Chain A
């Protein structure tokens, strides 16, 4: 374990390169994976992740290095190799390292590290048995527990010592329903920055039944007929549309380089006036939450869009220098192997004034995307795609036939303006978001929304 004096020495040595800022990110993580598949415990793995990332900044320039050798000698060796990338005269910078206390907003009652494998497996068995016994067409069920117990310590030349302990746990369920020649899958998960009390407070049986029913419904669904039409996107994981089509374009990583469609649009109307969007890393025990970001800054609630007007980007320390604006507590990274950059935490549209029922009743003909799958977006053009895992046709104001194989494609900036109804049923879903600084837990969320028109792809032919 690095002492305060050793950390100071490493940082001082970093400054010899002529940097104006240096940072040590130390990580110790115990990662556990458990899998129950086909009635058997097929996976039980433990990995110890341990290492340090060193970062030196000078104005907007950065060098970064990482190693598993976290001894003083190991870190000094790394600083030496960083000097090959950075070589200026030392600046007059002096600092003292002082520990900062951040109140823990994400209390853990049942610490994953104190629970036996046997106790954890009980939760897997509950969802497995429920889904498997739900219907004879359910042919395969896989339940997994993903657990990431991460302790981070950040030291920097602003004199900061900041620590955080995070327990990301997630129970995920995959269900396959089949009949001759056709297999359909459904997926959902429950997760948070929390202990195993999460699974005590949730109705795991109802959760598993819903996932099983979704796979069954899709087994009997017709193929989606591709067309352009009004689309109602349901709450919870439906928020992936905001995350992909808008959130990524508001991250400083693309804004600072002028690569985002939302560059230079602060204060401008970028969305329909009924749209307000927030990124909030402080929400107690949420999947995307933490006490501090990975630069040691306390997380906070950032209003991104208010009544359709762009209010803020998500900004980390280095991009703040480029963009000449303040940091937003949004610097995140998967591990010590990544330099931190601006990322989303828990991102969602806030509640609107309609009800879910009103939205459906007011849609004469359209598509209802009940469960969204993943998607991706090109930040330069804003073009995105999302898979729909469970979809229905809306006809004469009613949800009618289930349809499968639908994909939503469009342009993020256009879609924001096309949202014409927002319900009051906000909820979130749990995803892993991949970007420059790796794969990190992120909540996506929204109330049910309606988009006036969107291209819905599918493989069904014309009727």
Chain B
């Protein structure tokens, strides 16, 4: 991209400030079925997103053509878009923060490993899953993905930042069958270092999830004390994370509006957004506006402390950007997004939580997160499966039930917080928790 020409041409067209966000991605996507490579995808893409201030409005345009002869056309589209906007909040192109945090560089070792070794890894994983239990009828998905991304942001105010990150992802799902039932279970690992993947543990978890639920049945409809396993709690938190966004405040779409410094959760709940968290698989030193990233507590011992902000929402609400100005994709405007969002772990093990439950449910999976939650009202109603607990031990597997409640009420009713914090692929980390009561619909 010819930046000199771009900046000069933008000025001529009365675009007061302009910014170029370039994203280069390369990667691999392999999956295996019955020992044979079923999917083998290689890619390398480049895209640019331009944003610029025209008459005080931020116009956007993005393109997967990166030819210099497209610059004029893109600037025209940017102006067309800016012209119709009537956003009240002021937008900004940022000159840069004084300091940026340093993170320890972690080598992306998977780029050094041959495709053949990656296929071999999947073959081993598939074999281990099949060998663990005779009830495993098939391994439905067995996949490896890797992505390496380079982001560069340059603007007419002199900002010039660049970062490269990447990870690899291994996932499998298995189908378990016996005389009377079919169930499936899946799990995955995301790592930077190829050799960190422990296939044995991964296979064991997948098999347990599939086989454990065979012949599961619904339970009686009533209120139960409920233990949400770490990843399930993370899924539910993920479905509601928009309530922490400064954008939701501006759109009047959050129940947390006017609740700053109020007790919104039990005192055992602390929710953190930490871009530099070393336990997570991505670290961010600056956001997509070039603002420096840092750790902050959103809910501190149950008290709501801060929304997450980009430059625009911060200015509109008379505060500072929290370094959470991120794009949802190349062609999206800069919105607000968490970096690594997690609930601080407690002291109780999942085993002790189960032991301490006279009658209750352990939920190990929820479905319908894109439809069964209302992020605005906080209500959720989710298809779930897991286990019935009686007298402190797992009594039987449970499926096709619906757990329903309100997210804020749930946070207030957390009785115990587990010590088993885990990060999901959505960059959300949670320990298992025990909630005093949730409505369960089954039979």
A interface residues, Cβ below 8 angstroms from B = 31, 34, 37-38, 40-51, 61-69, 78, 81-82, 84-86, 117-118, 121, 139-140, 142, 176, 182-185, 226-228, 257-259, 261, 337, 339, 373-376, 378, 380-381, 383-387, 405-407, 409-411, 455-462
Measured between beta carbons, the chain B residues less than 8 angstroms from A46 are: 60-62, 77, 80-81
Can you give 13 contacting A-B residue pairs, CB < 8 Å?
A44-B60, A46-B62, A63-B40, A82-B42, A85-B115, A227-B221, A374-B368, A375-B368, A386-B371, A406-B381, A407-B404, A455-B443, A458-B441
Contact check, A380 vs B140: say whether CB atoms are below 8 A apart: yes
Nearest CB of B to A299, in Å: 25
Known: A49-B64, A257-B140. A457 touches B381 (CB 8 A): yes
B interface residues, Cβ below 8 angstroms from A = 33, 36-47, 59-66, 70, 74, 77, 80-88, 115, 138, 140, 173, 175, 182-184, 218, 221-223, 251-253, 255, 330-333, 367-368, 370-372, 374, 376-377, 379, 381-383, 399-402, 404-406, 439-443
A37 (CB) vs chain B CBs: closest residue: B251
Q: Which of B63, B83, B88, B442 contacts A226 (CB 8 A)?
A: B442
A34 (CB) vs chain B CBs: closest residue: B84
Nearest CB of B to A222, in Å: 13
Known: A68-B65, A407-B404. A176 touches B80 (CB 8 A): no
Q: Which of B39, B45, B383, B399 contacts A407 (CB 8 A)?
A: B383
Main secondary structure of the interface of A (DSSP, over half): strand
Known: A140-B253, A387-B372. A47 touches B84 (CB 8 A): no
Measured between beta carbons, the chain B residues less than 8 angstroms from A40 are: 85-88
A341 (CB) vs chain B CBs: closest residue: B39
A404 (CB) vs chain B CBs: closest residue: B379
Contact check, B402 vs A140: say whether CB atoms are below 8 A apart: no
Nearest CB of B to A278, in Å: 25
Main secondary structure of the interface of B (DSSP, over half): strand
Q: Which of B66, B370, B377 contacts A68 (CB 8 A)?
A: B66
Contact check, A259 vs B371: say whether CB atoms are below 8 A apart: no
Q: Which of B252, B377, B405, B439 contacts A182 (CB 8 A)?
A: B377
Measured between beta carbons, the chain B residues less than 8 angstroms from A385 are: 367-368, 371-372, 382-383, 402
Measured between beta carbons, the chain B residues less than 8 angstroms from A142 are: 251
Contact check, A68 vs B372: say whether CB atoms are below 8 A apart: no
Known: A85-B42, A407-B368. A383 touches B377 (CB 8 A): no
Docked CA distance A226–B442 (Å): 7
Docked CA distance A61–B41 (Å): 12
Known: A50-B64, A67-B43, A376-B371. A226 touches B37 (CB 8 A): no
Contact check, A226 vs B404: say whether CB atoms are below 8 A apart: yes
Contact check, A185 vs B371: say whether CB atoms are below 8 A apart: no
Q: How many A-B contacts at CB < 8 Å in the complex? A: 228
Contact check, B42 vs A81: say whether CB atoms are below 8 A apart: yes
Q: Which of B39, B45, B381 contacts A458 (CB 8 A)?
A: B381
Known: A42-B85, A185-B376. A380 touches B65 (CB 8 A): no
Q: Which of A117, A139, A184, A228 contacts B443 (CB 8 A)?
A: A228
Measured between beta carbons, the chain B residues less than 8 angstroms from A66 are: 41, 43, 45
Nearest CB of A to B222, in Å: 7
Docked CA distance A227–B443 (Å): 6
Docked CA distance A373–B382 (Å): 13
Known: A47-B330, A455-B402. A117 touches B182 (CB 8 A): no
Docked CA distance A140–B376 (Å): 11
Q: Sort A-B residue pairs by CB-CB distance and give the 5 closest, nearest first.
A: A226-B441, A457-B402, A374-B371, A459-B404, A385-B383
Q: A45-B81, A385-B402 are in contact. List 16 more A-B contacts (CB 8 A).
A: A44-B80, A45-B333, A68-B47, A81-B42, A85-B40, A378-B367, A380-B183, A381-B183, A385-B367, A385-B372, A405-B404, A407-B372, A455-B401, A455-B402, A459-B439, A462-B221
Contact check, A339 vs B41: say whether CB atoms are below 8 A apart: yes
Docked CA distance A69–B26 (Å): 13
Docked CA distance A13–B374 (Å): 52
Known: A375-B368, A461-B223. A42 touches B64 (CB 8 A): no
Q: Which of B87, B184, B333 contacts A381 (CB 8 A)?
A: B184
Measured between beta carbons, the chain B residues less than 8 angstroms from A44 are: 59-60, 80-82, 84-85
Nearest CB of A to B176, in Å: 9
Contact check, A47 vs B61: say whether CB atoms are below 8 A apart: yes
Nearest CB of B to A245, in Å: 12
Contact check, B404 vs A457: say whether CB atoms are below 8 A apart: yes
Q: Which of B42, B61, B86, B401 contacts A457 (CB 8 A)?
A: B401
Q: Which of B74, B86, B377, B383 contacts A41 (CB 8 A)?
A: B86
A378 (CB) vs chain B CBs: closest residue: B184
Measured between beta carbons, the chain A residues less than 8 angstroms from B401 are: 409, 455, 457
Measured between beta carbons, the chain B residues less than 8 angstroms from A226 are: 221, 402, 404, 439-442
Measured between beta carbons, the chain B residues less than 8 angstroms from A65 are: 41-43
Measured between beta carbons, the chain B residues less than 8 angstroms from A261 are: 182
Measured between beta carbons, the chain A residues less than 8 angstroms from B62 are: 45-48
Measured between beta carbons, the chain A residues less than 8 angstroms from B402 are: 226, 385, 407, 409, 455, 457-458
Docked CA distance A456–B252 (Å): 31
Contact check, A117 vs B84: say whether CB atoms are below 8 A apart: yes
Contact check, B87 vs A64: say whether CB atoms are below 8 A apart: no
A38 (CB) vs chain B CBs: closest residue: B251
Docked CA distance A422–B406 (Å): 35
Measured between beta carbons, the chain B residues less than 8 angstroms from A38 are: 251-252
Measured between beta carbons, the chain A residues less than 8 angstroms from B379 are: 405, 459
Docked CA distance A374–B383 (Å): 13
Measured between beta carbons, the chain A residues less than 8 angstroms from B367 are: 376, 378, 383, 385
Nearest CB of A to B52, in Å: 13
Contact check, B377 vs A387: say whether CB atoms are below 8 A apart: no
Docked CA distance A40–B405 (Å): 33
Measured between beta carbons, the chain B residues less than 8 angstroms from A409 are: 383, 400-402
